Amino acid sequence: MELTPERLAAQLGDGPLQPAYLVAGAETLRVLEAADALRAHARRQGIAEREVFEADARGFDWNELSASLNAPSLFSSQRLIEVRLPSGKPGKAGEKALLEAFESPPRDVVLLITCSDWSRQHGGKWSEAIGRIGKVAVAWPIRVDELPRWIEQRLRSRGLSADRDAVQTLAERVEGNLLAAAQEIDKLALLGHEGTLDSARMESLVADAARYDVFRLVDTAMNGQGAQTARMLAGLRAEGAAVPALLGMVAMELQRAASLAQVQARGGNLGAEFKAQRIWDSKQAAYRRALSRHDAARWERFVAVVGRIDRTAKGRGEGDAWQQLERLLLAVADTRATRLLQA
């Protein structure tokens, strides 16, 4: 059964560790904390010997892992062997080595595999085998509507309490960045605040730690979140970003959407096109929402506007490049804003 990283950590208790664990997901903080909880539990169980393999390194030999799994422990009755597999894909040789290990797991070994990339297309027989002899925990991205609850639980775990408005204030400040949220909560704990935090107090205590990056900027526009898009773009500008540096990613995403819109207009298979363009499962919903707002012709127009903004940013066109980029992204987010675009 698939667990959350938090549930996995909570289930460790004082009992013996399972032969194998898989902790995967793009939410780095949650993966790291679950892995740290396993390591700490291993130390409490007297497991002092630890080996780490970087399985995504070029030229990694899976035979080295197999040899280590079958070698006797030198310093303690049990060992913790970690396999860091960021891509979440061991390949044929890796899958073979792992399946062989799981068929008859060594009694003196606890195997921990961590992955920073994970989707429904990842895994396979090897991850299913881990589930049979051990535990699988996946840190799926925290949705916008789930973030306040995550923050509330985190506050309670640090002995803090906050009202609903205060929790929402912190959620808005960190813009989905769990590491930033965790750091702010730890800072609040160090300040030793007593009583229930309200919105005004939260506002005065936390920093604006939003992760303004172009990847999330475009995702936000695709999701139809116009106000948040404008705020993130203003943040990028305040941080000293340059319009030409942003346009490459904006152009790529809009061109992808234009291509998808053409497939959709022809009655083609969007699922196959997502796969052909290597668009992650986690991003497909945003694309579908965006495609429902605009037809193929409008997406082509958006792509053309990028070229005009680029010329303006380089001094070869009239107007304010930042304003033009904002209007373009707002148009992507909301059909009503398309009237802001120049003809």
Instruction: Please indicate, yes or no, whether residues 191 and 235 belong to a single structural domain of this protein.
Output: no
State residue 129's pLDDT score: 93
Between vectors from CA 114 to CA 108 and to CA 119, what angle results, nearest 5°?
135
Instruction: Please indicate, yes or no, whether residues 157 and 239 belong to a single structural domain of this protein.
Output: no
Instruction: Please indicate, yes or no, whether residues 201 and 284 belong to a single structural domain of this protein.
Output: no
Instruction: Please indicate, yes or no, whether residues 33 and 106 belong to a single structural domain of this protein.
Output: yes
Instruction: Please indicate, yes or no, whether residues 60 and 112 belong to a single structural domain of this protein.
Output: yes
pLDDT at position 7 over 60: yes
Alpha carbons 337 and 343: distance in angstroms, whole number: 13
CA-closest candidate to residue 3, choices 17, 23, 32, 28 = 23
Q: Which two tokens stand for residue 279?
A: 């668009």
Final residue of a structural domain among 114, 138, 162: 138
* Residue 271, φ and ψ in degrees, nearest 5: -60, -45
Percentage of residues in the chain with pLDDT exceeding 70? 94
State residue 207's pLDDT score: 61
Final residue of a structural domain among 108, 138, 168: 138
Instruction: Please indicate, yes or no, whether residues 154 and 90 belong to a single structural domain of this protein.
Output: no
State residue 252's pLDDT score: 87
State residue 136's pLDDT score: 95
Looking at every residue in the chain, the average pLDDT score rounds to 87
Final residue of a structural domain among 138, 164, 180: 138
Question: Which of 97-111, 212-226, 320-334 tops mean pLDDT?
Answer: 320-334
Alpha carbons 188 and 118: distance in angstroms, whole number: 32
CA distances from 149 to 16, 29, 86 (A): 31, 16, 28
Residues 2/138, Cβ–Cβ less than 8 Å: yes
For the segment 313-327, what is each residue's pLDDT rounded down to a tens digit? 988 888 899 999 999
**175 or 95: whose pLDDT is higher?**
95
Instruction: Please indicate, yes or no, whether residues 316 and 266 belong to a single structural domain of this protein.
Output: yes
| Residue 110 bridge partners (DSSP) | 80
Residues 6+ apart with CB under 8 A from 87: 56, 115, 117
State residue 177's pLDDT score: 79
Residues 169/136, Cβ–Cβ less than 8 Å: no
For residue 162, give the CATH number of its domain. Answer: 1.10.8.60
Q: Is 189 helix (H, G, I), strand (E, B) or coil?
A: helix
For the segment 186-209, what is each residue's pLDDT rounded down to a tens digit? 888 888 777 888 888 888 777 654
Instruction: Please indicate, yes or no, whether residues 12 and 94 belong to a single structural domain of this protein.
Output: yes
Between vectors from CA 22 to CA 105 and to CA 50, what angle results, nearest 5°?
65
Between vectors from CA 55 to CA 52 and to CA 56, what angle results, nearest 5°?
135
- How many domains does the structure of the chain reveal? 3
Q: Is 323 helix (H, G, I), strand (E, B) or coil?
A: helix
Instruction: Please indicate, yes or no, whether residues 186 and 237 belong to a single structural domain of this protein.
Output: no
Domain of 199, in residue numbers: 147-205
Cα distance between the two ends of the chain? 55
Strands in the chain per DSSP E: 2-3, 20-24, 49-54, 79-84, 109-115, 135-138, 161-162, 196-197
CA-closest candidate to residue 20, choices 97, 80, 85 = 80
pTM of the model: 0.61
For the segment 65-81, what is each residue's pLDDT rounded down to a tens digit? 888 888 766 655 788 99
Alpha carbons 153 and 136: distance in angstroms, whole number: 22
Instruction: Please indicate, yes or no, whether residues 22 and 117 belong to a single structural domain of this protein.
Output: yes
**204 or 311: whose pLDDT is higher?**
311
Burial class (CB in 10 A: 0-12, 13-18, 19+), 247: buried
pLDDT at position 6 over 60: yes
Instruction: Please indicate, yes or no, whether residues 335 and 228 belong to a single structural domain of this protein.
Output: yes
**235 or 99: whose pLDDT is higher?**
99
pLDDT at position 297 over 90: yes
| Residue 111 bridge partners (DSSP) | 20, 81
For residue 309, give the CATH number of its domain. Answer: 1.20.272.10
pLDDT at position 99 over 60: yes
State residue 210's pLDDT score: 46
- Cα dihedral across residues 220, 221, 226, 231: positive or negative: positive
Instruction: Please indicate, yes or no, whether residues 168 and 240 belong to a single structural domain of this protein.
Output: no
State residue 291's pLDDT score: 94
Lowest average pLDDT, out of 65-69, 215-219, 308-312, goes to 215-219
Alpha carbons 304 and 331: distance in angstroms, whole number: 13
pLDDT at position 117 over 90: no
How many CB atoms neighbour CB 277 within 10 A?
A: 13
Q: Which two tokens stand for residue 225?
A: 């979140």
